[in-house]
Structure formats: structure tokens, C-alpha cells
Structure 1
Amino acid sequence: MDLLALADFNLVARHGGLGRAARAADRPKATLSRRVSDLEASLGVRLFERGSHTLKLTQEGRALFERTETLLTEIGEAATSIASGGEAPRGRLRISAPLLFSQMALGTLSARFALRYPEVRLEITTEDRAVDMVEEGYELVIRVNPDPDERLVGRVLLRDRLVAVASPALQRPMPEVAARAVVRASGHPSVWELASGQGDLRMSIEPVLRLASLIMIRDAARTGIGAAVLPLSLVAGDLHSGALVHWGDVKGRPIEIWALYPSRRLLSARVSAFLEFLKEAFPLGQPEELAAYLTHEAAAR
């Protein structure tokens, strides 16, 4: 495959047309058109649907663009790095991260990272689903307790644990009485398996509210309407201030927050820089370090 033709195809795809690509790169429009046609001929597929005034990627063209854009960017960065004698973080860095972690810390962290590395164009999308990094063009994903994937490698950023908490105004029920509880809208156990200073406890629950997000559940628990099971990082400040009290630790698998990247690819300078930045932010990997971002946010109000 002609690498120059592939680069010109990416240029046209990125700008959405031959004219805009030619103006952006200061290249002849006819040259770009010929290069794209040569690439289509070599691959035996049509990459663009050509209208009278527009170009639109075909399904094959979009797949090729999504799979080669980042790779071509890395090749360009490598060439620039070798020519300049050093590899400085630069270019676009796309990251997928879970909702709660993003709401708690990534706004502040992304701004600080951008200040330190102004040549990196950081893009963070927030979603809890397991994205396909290669297909969707992500260089780094942050995930909670990810399933094993031989295509990915990474490191644990943080370890957290689930705790049962309630407002001091909510009386803890006797063992034979179900506890009023605020739970997730989708799926929840009917019994909490807790470990506390008084020993292990099986606590039956009676859901009184079903809410979509953990932050909503925490806010509802503060009112005293019911107890809740939440990550320690989310409620550490409330436990310290007395707004919530600790009923016990939830037994089971601990929470691990991972940063993952494709194992088949060498890390770019921008990914390495972001990983080191996260390591600086959470040097011990403890829930209190994540909780500190909420404490700082409250203090700033």
C-alpha cells in the first residue's frame, strides 16, 4: 500500500472534501484526487461516494480512516521526534473514562494536564460501556474492574471499596427488620453482606428509591430517606464531617480502576505522559486520594 496515498486519503477524509483538504495542506486538488483514486484502485474498493459537490465516506472508507488515522499521526510524530532529537508529547489524545471517575476528578486533572502539555489536544469521552479501543479510535481507556482482555495491557490507578452508609438521623434497624435503602435503578441485591467491627452481618434491604447515578444515591442518603452502598472515595468526606455514618464494609471483590491501552502498540509520548500524570495524582492508589478532589471542589464553593 502506498503510504503517501493513504496519508492523502486521511487528509481528504479528515477535512470532508477535496477542496477543503487542498486548501488546508496547500496542495493541488487534482493531485489529491488522483492519489485517492490510485488508493481505491489498489484496494479494489470505493472509499468515497462522489456527489456533484460533496464527498462522503463509504463504509469501507470510514473503517480505513478510523483504523489508520491514529497510526499515521504516530508515524508523523515519530518522524518529527527523530528530526528534533527528542520526543515531546503532542497531537490528539482520545480517552474513554467511566462516569463517576470523570465527574469526581477528570475535569480538574484534564485541565492541569493541558496546562503542562499545551501541544496535546486532549479529548475525554465519558461512558461506562466497554469501548473497542481500536475500532473507536481511543488510545487510552480508564475502566472499573475490567474483564481480562489479551489485547490490552495497563496498570491499576486506584483501589476502592464499597461501604454501607446512612444519615445519622436514620436509625439502624434490628437484624430481623429490613433496612430502608436507596439503590441503583438497574439491578441490586436484596441482602447486603457487611463486615463491621461487630462482625459479619447479612442485612435485608427494602428499596425506597431507585436512582440512576451514584452521586444521586449519595445525595439522597444524606437526607436520611435510606441507607446506601457507595464507593468509599465518594463518601469519605461525608464520613469525616459526620453527614453520613458507616454501617459496614461490603464483602466481595474490591474496586480497581485501571488505565488500559493496546498491547500491540508502542506507547506514544502523549499516552506515556498522561499515565505518568495519573501516577503523580494518585501515588498511593488509595480512595482517599480520589476523595480529595471532591473535598477541594466543596472548599472552592
Structure 2
Amino acid sequence: MDLLALADFNLVARHGGFGRAARASGRPKATLSRRVGELEASLDLRLIERGGRALKLTEEGRALFERAGALLTELDETVAAISSGGDKPRGRLRISAPLLFSQTAMGKLAAAFALRYPEVRLDVTTDDRTVDMVEEGYDLVIRVNPDPDESLVGRIFLRDRLVVVASPGLTRPADHAVVPAVVRGSDQNAVWEVKAPAARSRIAFDPILRLSSLIMVRDAVRAGVGAACLPLSLVSHDLAAGRLAHWGDLDAPAIALWTLYPSRRLLSARVSAFLEHLKEAFPTGTPAELAAYLEA
């Protein structure tokens, strides 16, 4: 197989069209089209559907793109490492991270990483949705309790848990009483099942305020508007200082933050360096450790 033709196909697929690939690479559109045509002829397969305004990969084209992209990246990185005399992190590193983690911790993490590895160009985007790493060109994603994905590998680097908190001035309701609450987004629940040292209980609530960010929810609860269910790491210092009261832990699965990346035999030096950076920042991965990092 012609590796140059394969690289041209990967370039076109990644940019979503011959014109975009030509503008991004500075190479003639006709040359890219010819090279992809030669690759299709050599494989006796159609990889790209022609005729539409937007590029569309065939099923075989998508499969080749997903596998070839990882292999070509490994090949480029291996050549770069050999030519430079070592496996030094360099180049662009694209990361997708969830909103709350990005707002609270990612700025400091990214800055420290950039200072440590000046030859890496770090690009972090915030997104709570499930991104397609191959399709959207991410090297690493951080997700909360992700669904299993056979195409990805990863590990947990932080754990947290949800707690119900309120301003000390708000009295915890008796059984069957309803408490005013601040919730995130369109949460339709009306009852919190909580675990306290003595027993389990149910707290019915009326969402009088809906906000799009958990940081906004915390600030509203501090102001005494109502109770809320929040990650412990986000409110542990408020609890210790007496600004908030702890009504109990939510009876729900723990929060686990995962780092995920495409399954590759050879992991890039950039991704390996960032994974080690996270491990050094959160060696035990506890809520208290995350809370201390946010306050440092």
C-alpha cells in the first residue's frame, strides 16, 4: 500500500473534504483527489462517496480512516522521536473536558502542563456531551462516569460524591415537608434519597431556581435561597468554614472522572505526559485532594 496516498486520504477525511484539506495543507485539490482515487483503485474499494456537497465516507472508508489515523500518528511520532534522539512530548494535544472540571481545575492544570512542556500546544475544549474522538480529532477526553466503549481505553483519576447542603439558616425539613431547592438545568427529580450517619431519609424539594452551572448553584445556596445537591469537592471548604450545612450524602453511585483515549499499542508521548501530569496533581484521587487543589 502507498503510505503517501493513505496519508492523503486521511488528510481529506479528517478535514471533511478535498477543498478544506487542500487549504489546510497548501497542496493542490486535484492532487489530493488523484491520490485518493489511486488508493481506491489499489484497494478495489470506494472510500468516499462523490457528488454530494459535503464529503461522506463509505463504511469501508470510515473503517480505514479510524484505523489508519492512529497508525499514521504513531508512525509520525516514532519518526520524530528517533530523529530528535528521544521521546520528548511535542506537537498539538487536543483534550475535551466536562464543564465543572474545566471551570474549577483545568485552567491551572493546563498552565502547569504548558510551562512543563513548552513544545506541546495544548488545546482544551469544554463539553459535557460524548464526543467522537476520531471524528473530531481529540487525543484525550475527560468524562464523568462514561458509558463503556470498546474503542477506548482509560482509567479513573478522581473520585467524588454528591452531598445535599444548605445555608445554616435554612432548617432541614421534617418528614413530608418540602424544602426550596436550587437545581442544575432541567432536573425533574423532586426527592433526594440521602444517607446520614444515623439512617436513610427522603427530602422532598421544590426547585425554585434552575441554573446551568453547578458553580452558580453553589453560589445561590451560599446566599440562602434553598438546598442543593452538589459534589463534595465543590463545597467541602464551605462545610468546614460553616458557610454551608451538610444534610447527608446522596444515595447514588459515586462520581468517577475518567481519562479516555483511543486504544493504541503505542501511546503518544503527549498523551502519556498529560496522564502523568494528572497523576502527580491527584495522587490519591479523593474528593478532599480535589478540594485542596481548587483552593491552592
Please state whether the residue corresponding to 2:128 is helix, strand or coil.
Answer: coil
Distance, in Å, in 2 between the alignment partners of 1:282 and 1:174 is: 39
Q: Is the contact made by 2:74 and 2:266 (CA closer than 8 Å) also made in structure 1?
A: no
Please state whether the residue corresponding to 2:193 is helix, strand or coil.
Answer: strand
Distance, in Å, in 2 between the alignment partners of 1:46 and 1:189 is: 47
- Deviation digits for residues 84-122 of structure 1, max 9, x if unmatched? 442111222221111111111111101111111112121
TM normalised by structure 1 equals 0.82
How many angstroms does 1:143 deviate by? 0.9
TM normalised by structure 2 equals 0.84
Partner of 2:118: 118
The residue correspondences of 1:1-301 to structure 2 (distance < 5 A) are 1-8=1-8, 16=20, 18=22, 21-22=25-26, 35=35, 38-39=38-39, 41-42=41-42, 45=46, 58-60=55-57, 68-69=68-69, 71-296=71-296
Please state whether the residue corresponding to 1:224 is helix, strand or coil.
Answer: coil
Please state whether the residue corresponding to 1:4 is helix, strand or coil.
Answer: helix
- Deviation digits for residues 244-280 of structure 1, max 9, x if unmatched? 1111111121111111122344311111111010000
Please state whether the residue corresponding to 1:225 is helix, strand or coil.
Answer: coil
Partner of 1:299: none
Distance, in Å, in 2 between the alignment partners of 1:189 and 1:49 is: 48
Q: Percent identity?
A: 63
Distance, in Å, in 1 between the alignment partners of 2:22 and 2:156 is: 44
Q: Is the contact made by 1:104 and 1:290 (CA closer than 8 Å) also made in structure 2?
A: no
Q: What CA RMSD, in Å, does the superposition of the two structures yield over aligned residues?
A: 3.0
How many angstroms does 1:74 deviate by? 2.6
Partner of 1:53: none
Please state whether the residue corresponding to 1:176 is helix, strand or coil.
Answer: coil
Mean CA deviation greater in 268-277 or 80-89: 80-89
Distance, in Å, in 2 between the alignment partners of 1:86 and 1:92 is: 18
Q: Is the contact made by 2:191 and 2:204 (CA closer than 8 Å) also made in structure 1?
A: yes
Q: Is the contact made by 1:191 and 1:202 (CA closer than 8 Å) also made in structure 2?
A: yes
- Deviation digits for residues 189-240 of structure 1, max 9, x if unmatched? 2221112234222111122112222112111111111000000011112112
Please state whether the residue corresponding to 2:57 is helix, strand or coil.
Answer: helix
Distance, in Å, in 2 between the alignment partners of 1:248 and 1:219 is: 19
Gaps of 5+ in 2: none
Mean CA deviation greater in 227-236 or 286-295: 286-295
Gaps of 5+ in 1: 51-55, 297-301
- Deviation digits for residues 163-197 of structure 1, max 9, x if unmatched? 01111121222223111111222224222111223
- Deviation digits for residues 114-133 of structure 1, max 9, x if unmatched? 11111212122211112222
How many angstroms does 1:45 deviate by? 4.7
Distance change in 2, residues 1:41/1:217 (3 Å) = same
Matched residue count: 287
Distance change in 2, residues 1:83/1:250 (3 Å) = same
